[in-house]
Amino acid sequence: MKCQGAVLRGVGQDWEVREITLDPPKDGEVLVKMAVAGVCHSDDHFTTGDMVPTPDFAAVMEAAGVPPVEYFPLLGGHEGAGIVEEVGPGVRSVQPGDRVAFSFIAACGSCRWCASGMTYLCDNGAMMLAKEMTTDGTRRRHLGDEDLTAMTQLGTFAEYAVLAEESVIKIDESIPFEAASLVSCGVTTGWGSETVGVGTQPGDTVVIVGTGGVGINAVQGARAAGANSVIAVDPVEFKRDTAKFFGATDTSPSIEEAIPLVQELTEGVMADRVVLTPGVLDAELLAPALMLTRKGGTCLMTAVPKFEVNMVPLLLVDMLQSCKQLKGLIYGGMNPRASMPMLLSMYRNGHLKLDELVTRRYRLDQINDAIRDMRGGRNIRGIIEFD
């Protein structure tokens, strides 16, 4: 079938809305008519080139035996929700007419990691940016004579998506598409970073650096976990104000200015947990983030860093003698198939704010405006609506 999709041809270019071709779903695959797609910083990381490996990083990956990735042309979008239009043979978990949200990892459910409750580490994650389907290793998405890479095996910036069954999660009919789309990436990642990733406890002091689409949900998660002080750090005043609305007790425009604030709030003990959720994880952020972390405390990296060999200034003596943990985590350590229905149930019962996360709505042909507004710090979440 043919439909419209937003395609990126290379680093530094604008997104182009083009006619793309999707092959019918094969064994274990579904065709979804998109209702809503969320615009996340990770999509923009291909425009800026942050997620495209530098030569030194590529050399390290090659030495480790990781096959090189063909990033372009890229069909964008990894947050979204829609309605199942058609299912291929063998599909059991959904049928035509079902509402679905998406997982940005097509977790298989049977590998060692999935079987251990860590679906975010599923071996299928290695194919997140492959042109081939995780199901049978062949290709379904095309732009003229070229094959498309679909962002995280999804490609939600299109009117339709052909997906592995593992990428879709059935949701209740009463859940609005916007809410379902939001839990696809940003909400689950942010919420999980606090509640699972750093294991926030009642009474804790936590710092969240960067309160955009992910960090704002770390604020919600921290409050739900019982944190006493939630300090939101963001250079944009609108985002600091929004963080207060979502439950932050204190705010700071920079990580440097947060250090004396946290010193004062904790009588010098510093924060029990620090979660880093900026648009891009800069290596320079780690030294002050660990200064914000108390002895025995945990600092969590949730944001995407540049794909380069990073030189990180760390006080190793402090790491050792103060028994600090520095941890990396994707999807907030949550298992989408379990956590998305749980979060949507919390939303329905009024314990999780989702509608309030949407700042602006766009049509697909306004994709570049949506990206510009996100870069400009004008959106908590921008949403693309389809007919």
Task: Give contact residues for Zn ion (rule: CB under 5 A).
Answer: 40, 42, 108, 111, 114, 122, 185
- Side by side, the strands of the sheet bearing 2-8 are 146-147, 141-143, 16-22, 2-8, 74-75, 149-150
Token code pair at residue 237 = 């005043």
177 DSSP assignment:
H
Please answer whether residues 260 and 207 qualify as being in contact, where contact means their C-beta atoms are separated by less than 8 angstroms. no
Closest residue by Cα to residue 281 from 60, 12, 72, 51: 51
Smaller CB distance to Zn ion: residue 111 or 129?
A: 111
Closest contact distance (angstroms) between CB of 247 and Zn ion is 21
**Cα 313 from Cα 111, distance rounded (Å):** 36
* CB neighbours of residue 16 within 10 Å: 14
Closest contact distance (angstroms) between CB of 291 and Zn ion is 28
State the distance between the two ends of the chain, measured CA to CA, in whole angstroms. 17
Closest contact distance (angstroms) between CB of 297 and Zn ion is 26
Smaller CB distance to Zn ion: residue 91 or 258?
A: 91
**Cα 28 from Cα 93, distance rounded (Å):** 10
* CB neighbours of residue 163 within 10 Å: 30
Smaller CB distance to Zn ion: residue 181 or 251?
A: 181
Smaller CB distance to Zn ion: residue 168 or 291?
A: 168
Smaller CB distance to Zn ion: residue 48 or 266?
A: 48
What own/partner pairs with CB < 8 Å and gap ≥ 24 does 107-110 have? 107/166, 107/335, 107/336, 107/337, 108/134, 108/166, 109/166, 109/337
Residue 8's beta-bridge partner residues?
74
Smaller CB distance to Zn ion: residue 114 or 127?
A: 114
Closest contact distance (angstroms) between CB of 315 and Zn ion is 31
Instruction: Report the half-sphere exposure of 266 (CA within 13 A, side-chain side).
Output: 26
Closest contact distance (angstroms) between CB of 309 and Zn ion is 24
**Cα 88 from Cα 164, distance rounded (Å):** 10
Smaller CB distance to Zn ion: residue 244 or 361?
A: 361
Closest contact distance (angstroms) between CB of 298 and Zn ion is 22
